[in-house]
Every structure is written in C-alpha cells, then in structure tokens.
Amino acid sequence: MVFGGIQKLTLLDYPDRTACTLFTVGCNFACPFCQNTPLIRPTGKEQTFDALDILAFLKTRQGLLDGVCISGGEPLIHENLGAFIDEVKALGFYVKLDTNGSYPQRLKKLAESGRLDYVAMDIKNAPEKYPQTIGLPEYDVSPIEESIAFLCSGVIPYEFRTTVVRRFHTRSDLLTIARWISGADKYFLQGFIDSGEVLQSGLTAYSIAEMRQLLDSVKKELPATELRGV
C-alpha cells in the first residue's frame, strides 16, 4: 500500500474518537471538485509512505489516539487493504473507512470480517448525474446501489455524505439522493471548500444561507440529514 499523507490528529474525521487520518494514493474516480489532486494524479515527486512507515507512526500514538481513519484517494482500490487493517487493529485502534462506494464486495468483506468499525460513504450525486460528477464519460451506479443497500442493512455504523458544489448539485438532485438512501442512519451535506488543490478550478460553494435552505428541503425527505463544514 502507498500512502500520500498523514494527518496526525483529527477530532472531526472520526465521530466520537480522537484519531489520525491516513490518505491512500490513487482513485478510480476523477471528481472535478476533488480536494486531493496530488493523491489521484501523483506526479511522482510527492512524499509517500509505505505501510511500515505508517505502522511505526501508529506505534508512537498508542494510548494517545483511539481511532484511525483510512481515507484517500479511494482506499478500496488497494487489494491488500485488509492485511494492513489487521496490523492497525492489532495495535488496538478502531478503524474508520472513507469510500466512494464503488467496491461493494471489498467493502462487505472488510465489514463482515470485523475489520471496520465505521464507514463514511460518499454519495456523489443523483444516479443520472454520476458520470459528470465523478469526471467519467459514463458510469453504471449498480456498485453504488449495492454499497448503499449493504450499509443500510446495519452491519456496522455508517454515514452517507455529499459534498455540495453549486455547478453540480441542485435542490432537486439532493432530494433525489435523499429518496435514494431513504432510511439511512445519517446523511451529511458538506459545504465545498476550495483547498487550492482542487482538480478543476472555478468551482464554488453555496452560501451558508443557501445550504440551510437546502438542508430544510432535504430533511423533509430524510430527517437524518445534517450540515457539516458549513
């Protein structure tokens, strides 16, 4: 496994846990609003870490942190993720996985084998707008639907989330998503923030007032919806 970065402390990424976040390199999507361009389009000049580097770091955090968020990129593109998680859990950490939901079989295998304690899955947009939102010419959303159904079955704690970008998301799109994930435990509308390393420049967020209006609408379809990062 190759990692492109470590956030050594986060009080936000893992609900109710003091954690660090690991960023894996590579993704099968190319969302124009992706904040992690160096992870999905690496030039080869970026600093990287291998699993041994990460495990050595985690050993220094035993007793200080209780959780590890594995983010990306898309962590599930790495077939040996399960073996890495085994090492992380052997050090006593809870593990949260961030995923775009496009590898339902790998997600199920990790969850059902007890390797995951929490999953945050992105819902990029309404089904018909997936290709443009993930930067691909076409995309069959069947894997996304499979991941949604699996998480909604309640095997492990989870949340769904959508980064809301003015160019890609209308109120109608968000209502369609809410109906798509009907019955979900938690759904977050996240404000888009331009980190300066976004894949496509010129994208903008809705204002705080607009996000609150969107929340009011979506909550009527899915009461478990909240704002995050707004």
Least distance CB 79 / ligand SF4 (angstroms): 17
Least distance CB 121 / ligand SF4 (angstroms): 10
Q: For residues 222 and 121, what is the distance between their CA atoms, to the nearest angstrom? A: 16
By beta-carbon proximity to ligand SF4, the closer residue of 34 and 205 is: 34
Report the amino acid identity of residue 186. K
Stretch that binds ligand SF4, among 8-16, 33-41, 167-175, 206-214 (CB under 6 A): 33-41
State yes or no: residue 73 binds ligand SF4 (CB under 6 A): yes
Q: Is 11 left (phi over 0), alpha (psi -120 to 50) or beta?
A: alpha
State yes or no: residue 13 binds ligand SF4 (CB under 6 A): no
Secondary structure of residue 86 in the 3-state scheme: helix
Q: For residues 145 and 102, what is the distance between their CA atoms, to the nearest angstrom? A: 9
Binding footprint of ligand SF4, residue count (CB under 6 A): 11
State yes or no: residue 72 binds ligand SF4 (CB under 6 A): yes
Q: For residues 51 and 141, what is the distance between their CA atoms, to the nearest angstrom? A: 31
State yes or no: residue 190 binds ligand SF4 (CB under 6 A): no
By beta-carbon proximity to ligand SF4, the closer residue of 113 and 142 is: 142
Query: Residue 38: which H helix or E strand, with range?
Result: helix 37-40
In this chain, which of 21, 24, 36, 162 binds ligand SF4, going by CB under 6 A?
Answer: 36
Least distance CB 72 / ligand SF4 (angstroms): 5
Residue labelled with tokens 């976040």: 21
State yes or no: residue 198 binds ligand SF4 (CB under 6 A): no
Stretch that binds ligand SF4, among 3-11, 69-77, 78-86, 141-149 (CB under 6 A): 69-77
In this chain, which of 1, 19, 22, 40 binds ligand SF4, going by CB under 6 A?
Answer: 40
State yes or no: residue 100 binds ligand SF4 (CB under 6 A): yes
Q: Where are the beta strands (DSSP E) in the chain?
A: 2-10, 19-24, 49-50, 67-71, 94-99, 118-122, 158-164, 187-191, 225-228
In the sheet where 2-10 sits, what is the strand order?
A: 49-50, 2-10, 19-24, 67-71, 94-99, 118-122, 158-164, 187-191, 225-228
Residues that bind ligand SF4 (CB under 6 A): 27, 29-31, 34, 36, 40, 72-74, 100
